[in-house]
Chain A
């Protein structure tokens, strides 16, 4: 954590993809395309064999990656590649077991070397955060936490105490995946959270249209996270790399532009 300066800003569009999807080389190209098309920050997932919080689309993305025997080492190589051309804020999202298997301290050390800005274990609630709280401080990695629509005020207060970087507000009860509408009740949740933290609030789960991005910003959020839609573009274009990467760029640009009226500049090298 750098005091007084948070890399995670307001008015943010943060795309999510699974590292190594659909394969290592195309994954690098896809991520570069996101960076070039207005992504303000990246959320990158590590494929896991049993992703409990993921809906069918991201489950399939996980499977595509694991079927190619992708490893944690490969994931770090892809991140290394991103760091060769951009300092865009990167947040990693992965099941805790993968970090445990790597060695928890080693994992944080590696994140620190790669200038990872945020780290989110969706299966670690604050009740289980003793170890990650220790290492995130030691290695100065922003530990990101989920807040859900059923988290009460007492929990929000507790989570806010530990959270760094940004708050990941889960828009709905359920798994990741595209939804037609974003639940309007998150507006009150956002207000509630703002009582306890100044961190930017990014809304995820269900965000799949430019209007969703506008909606959540209007409801007081500081950003939107979108994953399944990108994974779906990959899934739909497995036989055409060119189209896959092109469509990723077009969609990212559209989503990103809906965070504000002005058209964003090409981000490469801006950091």
Chain B
């Protein structure tokens, strides 16, 4: 198993977890190029989920910024976000391995919903671990998970957000690895997960590349995506790495005091099975992240992003809660698209850095999910 991306990655897990993870890796390597598996997954992605997603020319947004801006519309996917690309792939893998149930963590609830849906497809029961605080701020997604038949288990330890949901899922998996498949939702965690999730998400950039070459006869100058754990960003970057294209990941700036700027403000550490950048204090205790968007509220980040950052193959910036909220409203009014608060971070980056873009720039922003799930929260917060 190729376990590292530069200095990052690895499999920092208790001995009890090594054997199950190795088995997952073996099965994944066996089936990822298997014709029957690919056919089954591609069929589902096309007919069930709605791929390929459009690459939409955002006319009014382009005019406001002064260059061409396209939006990769992952928000149009069944379930409302890119997460389903990965959950279907891994659910088929779980079935293949002979798992009796699927477990997963979720932050914003998008991965939870996408896992619940995938569980229905492969007919496996699903348990979703979700931070108590996130259950509160993403009520609608909790209800959706239940509609799809998943059991939602509150994570009540620590900050009661995504990182604690991951802890609880890992603890459950330690005890139940014989019957359960842990379906991780981002390019985080121990190997082989970063590799597996990247594999299933890279379809985003594969499509984008084909689409932009058809529409514009050239490659883009910018690819922009939000980064929490980093799955939609890796998916968006994959085909464009090493191509002299500005790859920009946008992290959660929070309220500027509390934030989720793991790559821009974190330091190198080992957290939840992987070596990467982490928000931690000088003793190595993990700090709580903060973001208005539950999906970016995570003090770790995928090791591939740590590698891309250190090798300057990609750059990482942040925008604040307020900037993201304003960008969400902007995209609604200018383009008629309601992005998820997570995805609004990518939009906000462009709005905040208008001067950076030249007339000839060709910018692609991934709208990783739709904002329907955030409506209740925005309504309550009175921000708009």
List residues of A whose CB falls within 8 A of some B CB. Answer: 48-50, 52-55, 59, 66, 71-72, 95-102, 122-125, 127-128, 145-152, 155, 159, 170, 172-175
Contacts and interface: CB of A to CB of B under 8 A. Distances in A.
Nearest to B157: A59
B278 A97 contact: yes
A26 B110 CA distance: 46
Contact of A170 (B16, B171, B280, B285): B16
Contacts of B19: 148, 150-152, 155
A22 B163 CA distance: 25
Interface of B: 3, 10-16, 18-20, 157-158, 163, 167, 170-171, 174-178, 268-273, 278, 280, 282-286
A236 to B, nearest CB: 20
Contacts of B178: 150, 173
A252 B228 CA distance: 46
A170 B17 CA distance: 12
A52 B10 contact: no
A105 to B, nearest CB: 15
Contact of B270 (A96, A102, A145, A146): A96
Contacts of B272: 50, 52
Nearest to B281: A101
A155 B270 CA distance: 23
Contact of B10 (A71, A95, A128): A128
Contact of B269 (A97, A148, A150, A173): A97
Contacts of A48: 284-285
Contacts of A152: 19
Contact of B11 (A66, A102, A128, A150): A128
13 contacts: A52-B14, A52-B171, A53-B174, A71-B283, A100-B268, A101-B284, A102-B283, A125-B11, A127-B11, A128-B10, A146-B15, A147-B15, A175-B175
Contacts of A149: 16
Contacts of B171: 52-55, 174-175
Given A50-B286, A71-B283, A175-B175, A146 B12 contact: no
A49 B13 contact: no
Contacts of A123: 12-14, 270, 273
Between A125, A149, A150, the greatest number of chain B beta carbons within 10 A of the residue's beta carbon is seen for A125
A197 B280 CA distance: 38
Given A100-B269, A149-B16, 16 more contacts: A54-B171, A71-B283, A96-B270, A97-B270, A97-B278, A97-B280, A97-B286, A101-B269, A123-B270, A127-B10, A127-B11, A146-B14, A151-B19, A172-B175, A173-B178, A175-B171
Nearest to A48: B285
B12 A128 contact: yes
B91 to A, nearest CB: 23
A129 B253 CA distance: 35
Given A59-B157, A174-B174, A52 B278 contact: no
A101 B15 contact: no
Contacts of A147: 15
Given A173-B177, A175-B175, A50 B13 contact: no
Contacts of A127: 3, 10-11, 18
A124 B10 CA distance: 10
B15 A125 contact: yes
Contact of A97 (B20, B175, B271): B271
B171 to A, nearest CB: 5
Contacts of B268: 100
B286 A49 contact: yes
Between A98, A148, A172, A173, the greatest number of chain B beta carbons within 10 A of the residue's beta carbon is seen for A173
Contacts of B174: 52-53, 173-175
A46 B313 CA distance: 37
A102 B93 CA distance: 40
A170 B283 contact: no
Contact of B280 (A96, A101, A174): A101
B282 A101 contact: yes
Contacts of A101: 269, 280, 282-284
A92 to B, nearest CB: 14
Contacts of B167: 50, 52
Contacts of A175: 171, 174-175
